[in-house]
Structure 1
Amino acid sequence: MLRFQASRRLRPTGVADAQTLNLLGVNTAGSFDRVNRYYVAIPSQGADTLSRVRQFFPRAVAKKSRLGDYVEAGAYPNVERAEQESNFLRTKGLDARVAYR
């Protein structure tokens, strides 16, 4: 799994998350939001926030909410995994936090 993720420019975690499953051809679209309720959000600090996050999470997307613009680095089924990824981004100087939908 690690080798597959690295070869596809995903962060190699060894876990078949939604991004990995998508590349494997497994359809997670219908249940993604229902299953992956915890997500890592980085408040947008300008035009370069998305590109900075994508250095580590290539499939990160820019989003909007009533609280402001942010980048979603990924979504996860449990808070522990989301916290792990948030902490990783914090070590890279990004203001990452875990949110629940």
Structure 2
Amino acid sequence: MYLELESDFTEQLALLETAEDFLDYFVVDYDPELVEKKHIPLLRLFQKLLVCKPNADYATYQKSLRLAYKQISLGHEPMIAAGGCASCASDCSASGE
């Protein structure tokens, strides 16, 4: 039964596309104007908080998203290195040149 619930959760996560989708799914109150302007930093911070929590469940995702949203709403955005984010191996910076 637990594996079924975990599988359903993973499938539901795969359907989420926007910051608003995540905030709605995890029942996090938010200011739509703030999210429209800061969705990328919000999702980056959310992902960063989850990286060190393998096998996270709904409650862990919800808590991490609430924390990320609170930090973004307070103006605390994650620092991005000059060559791009440190958490992925893609060469994003080359596409803009």
Return the structure number with greater strand share.
Answer: 1
TM range (shorter): under 0.3
Find the structure with the greater CA-based Rg: 2
Q: Tell me the TM-score normalised to structure 1 length.
A: 0.24
Per chain length, whose mean CA-contact separation is higher, i.e. which structure has more relative contact order (CA < 8 Å, sep 6+)? Answer: 1
